Structures are given as C-alpha cells and as structure tokens.
Structure 1
Amino acid sequence: MKRLLTAIAMAACAAVSWADGLQSLEAFMKNAQAGRAEFTQAVTAPAKDGQPPRTKNSSGHFEFQRPGKFRFVYTRPFEQTIVADGKTLWLYDADLNQVTQRAQAQALGSTPAAILASANDLKALSADFDLQAAPDQDGLQWVQASPKDRNGQLKSVRVGFEAGGRLAALDILDGFGQRSLIRFSGLQTQASLPSSLFEFKVPAGADVLKQ
C-alpha cells in the first residue's frame, strides 16, 4: 500500500510538472508576438570511428515576429545570417559571400523555427508536431516535439522554459544523431519589431543560389 501511494504521488507530481511545460509553451506562443534575445549554440556530432564526439560552439542574436518572420545572426566564430521574411528564407554566408534562397513554406514546416515564430497556439503547432510534456531537467520545464513528417531531417526537438514561462533553450536532434543545443539569454518580448529587421538585401557581388 505504501509503495502504491508513493507511486500515485510521484505520478501526480509529474503530471503537474508536465502540464506546466505545455502551458508554458502555449503561453509563449500566444503572448510573445515578437521578441529578441542573445543565443549560444553547441552542435555535437556523434562519435565516429572510435573518435570522441566533437562539439562546435557559436553565438549571436535572434529576433522573431509572428507570423513567420525571424532573423538569426551568427557573429562567432563565423558571420552568417538567416532571415525569414514571411515568403522567402535567406541564408547568407559572409566568408563565401554567398546567399541561398528558398521558398519559406517548403523550408520551415517541421522545423524548430515553426515553434519559435510560425504557429500561434498548440493546436496549430500540432498540425506538424506530436507534442508531449517531458520531465523537468536542469531547472527547466521541457516539452518534447516530434515531427509528424518522418522523412525530414529533424528527429525531435525539446523546448525548455524557465519558471514563469520564459523561453530558455532548444535541444534539437537530427536524423544523423547530431545534437544542437541553443540557449537563449536576455529574452525580451514585445508587441512588434521594425519590419526592416526582416527584410533581406543581397550584398553587392554575392552569388545567389535558388533552391
């Protein structure tokens, strides 16, 4: 009987925690119509040929505005800019002076960007992802999102929130076993941002590749 009561109590606590994670995600999607933050990203490739996993670190700043606009600017170790203007996804590599242009609708469906900037509520997000709350870890509430399209490169993404529902992290796993952990800091949410932030102009002399 004691074990049964303990198990019930643990399950109840877990249910409350998980519900909070999903509630935090929905509150973020509904209330954060625009925002900006600094970020760090650690990309870890799986071990290969007996070699230990390798991690590459980068950092920069990020802005978004619903529906469907965002801007990632990587400043270290290399300059790279990713802009979604609502119709087109632009990727600019400063070292190569090269721009890749893709139709946004085809590029963003089942990606972490859909969570950050596209869908406005859990119902809309559920069109592309299976959502379930995950146990708290590292002081954060987590939600697991698995893409319904099993043929894409993304395997799963966990979204982490601090107490109070502030977006804190994305933990992304792709189909090749590569993990990308993005941590956000100094997040500021607001009603809108200048539209010019999400307008991309091809730099002079840059090669443009359309996909």
Structure 2
Amino acid sequence: MLLKKLIAGIGLAALVASASAGGLESLEAFVMNAKSGRAEFTQTVTSPPKEGQTVREKVSTGTFEFQRPGKFRFDYKKPFVQNIVADGETLWLFDADLNQVTQRKQAQALGSTPAALIASAPDLKALQADFALESAPERDGLQWVKATPKSRDGQLQSVQIGFQGDSLAALEILDSFGQKSVLKFAKVEVNASLPASTFQFKPPAGADVVRQ
C-alpha cells in the first residue's frame, strides 16, 4: 500500500516522466541520424514454461547491418546459421540446416515488425503510422521506448527499444504467445560505409525456395 502511494506521488511521477522522456528523443535522433549501421548481437529467447517445467532459454549470436530506407540483414552464426536479408523489395530468410529459403514481398512483411522500428522506417512519423509509441522508465542504465502495433492482426504484442544516449543498445520483443526475445547490441557503428552487396541475396544452389 505504501509503495502504491509513493508511486502515485507527484514527485516520483515527475521523476519517472523526466527519466523516460529521453527514450522518444533518442529514438527520433536514431531514426533521423543513423542512415546506416552495423553491430554484433546476442539474442536470448525465453518461452513461457509449461506446468511443472522450468524456464528454457535459447541463446544465439550474430551480426546486424542496415541502411535506410528498407534494407537490413541479420546473420545468425551460432548455434545455427540463418540469414534474414531485406533488399528493399524482397525479404529473404535462409535456414542453412534445412537448406531452405523463404521469399516474401517486403512491403507486406515488415509493416508492424521490430525491423521496421530500428532499420526500415525513414522517420518517426512513418513509425507512428504503424505503432503507438511511448516513453518507458529508465532501467539498466538505458532509456526505453515502448512500441505497440496498431494492427492486432500479427503475432507481435509489444517491442521495447533501449538506447544509451542516441546509440541503439537493446531490443525486447514480446509476442502474443508470451515468448520474449531480448537482443543486446555491441560494437555499434553508426553511418558505416556498407557496400551494395551487403543487402543482396542469392539462394544457394540446391536450396528449396518457398515463395509466400
């Protein structure tokens, strides 16, 4: 009860608002100023435990590159090789173990997705067309923005983007099934010079190509 009263207090509310105001400002600065970039990432996926089971985590690592508007790639290197490449028109997903490529039209696939938040949208207004954006309280030394898709048709429930200053630091994704994915970025290089070949993808010889 005391904690609720404290949270409701004007002083603490003002403090939270002040601390979280930087989140939206950092997102806007990142979208406006970071025209390209690269980083390393560690992704931890946590699924809701079934009754009588402990929480299970899956950890993967890789690299991330992007170029506005609409081009990016995630290269998963461990424990399994997977590639996600958006070339501006087509979204490619390659699973090396299955030797399978999934091909989708990018415009239909990216609207309300985490990739649109950090790599695809040209400005904040474009993001606000697909997401409700609000600042979230500072934690872990980062400024946060919560993005909730305006469309309820997809599996995405919410995304939180963490910034250290104007630099992208973390991404927390919660889907409608309660699965949580946390990406932490390191060695972030903003406005990196990236060759055009970075965002080109050609299905490997013999791979099964599925068009959706």
Q: TM-score range by the shorter chain?
A: over 0.9
Question: What is residue 13 of structure 1 aligned with on the other side?
Answer: 15
Higher mean alpha-carbon deviation, 191-200 vs 142-151, is at: 191-200
- CA distance, structure 2, for counterparts of residue 11 and residue 121 of structure 1: 29
Q: Is the 8 A contact 2:17 2:137 kept in 1?
A: no
1:43-58 mapped onto 2 (5 Å cutoff) = 43-58=45-60
CA distance in 1, matches of 2:81, 2:57: 18
Match of 2:129 among 127, 130, 151: 127
Matched, 1:187 2:193: no
Task: Tell me the equivalent position of 1:209.
Answer: 210
8 Å contact kept, 1:65–1:192: no
Deviation at 1:205, TM superposition (A): 0.9
The corresponding residue for 1:92 is: 94
User: CA 1:12 to 1:49, structure 2 compared with 1: closer, same or farther past 3 Å?
Assistant: closer
Please tell me the root mean square deviation across aligned C-alpha atoms, in Å: 1.5
**CA displacement, residues 72-131 of structure 1 (integer Å, 9 cap, x when unaligned):** 000000000000000000001111111000011111100000011111222110000000
Q: Does 1:38 align with 2:36?
A: no
The letter for the 2-side match of 1:148 is: K
**Counterpart for residue 117 of structure 1:** 119
Q: What CA deviation, in whole Å up to 9, does each residue of 1:131-187 have, x standing for no partner?
A: 00000111111100000011211000000011x211000000001000000000000
Distance across 2 between alignment mates of 1:37 and 1:197: 14
2:170–2:184 contact (8 Å) kept in structure 1: yes
One-letter code of the match for 1:76?
K
Which stretches in structure 1 are left out of the alignment for 5+ residues? none
Q: Please, what TM-score do these two structures have when normalized by structure 2?
A: 0.94
CA displacement at 1:11 relative to structure 2: 2.3
CA distance in 1 between counterparts of 2:113 and 2:193 reads 23
Q: Secondary structure at the residue paired with 1:127?
A: helix
Q: Is this contact kept in 2: 1:85–1:198, CA < 8 A?
A: yes
Aligned residue number for residue 69 of structure 2: 67
Give CA-to-partner distance per residue, 1:21-72, whole Å, 9 cap, x none: 1000000000000000000000000011321121100000010000010010
Cα distance between partner residues in 2 of 1:191 and 1:161: 18
Aligned to 1:81: 83
Which amino acid in the other structure matches residue 141 of structure 1?
Answer: Q
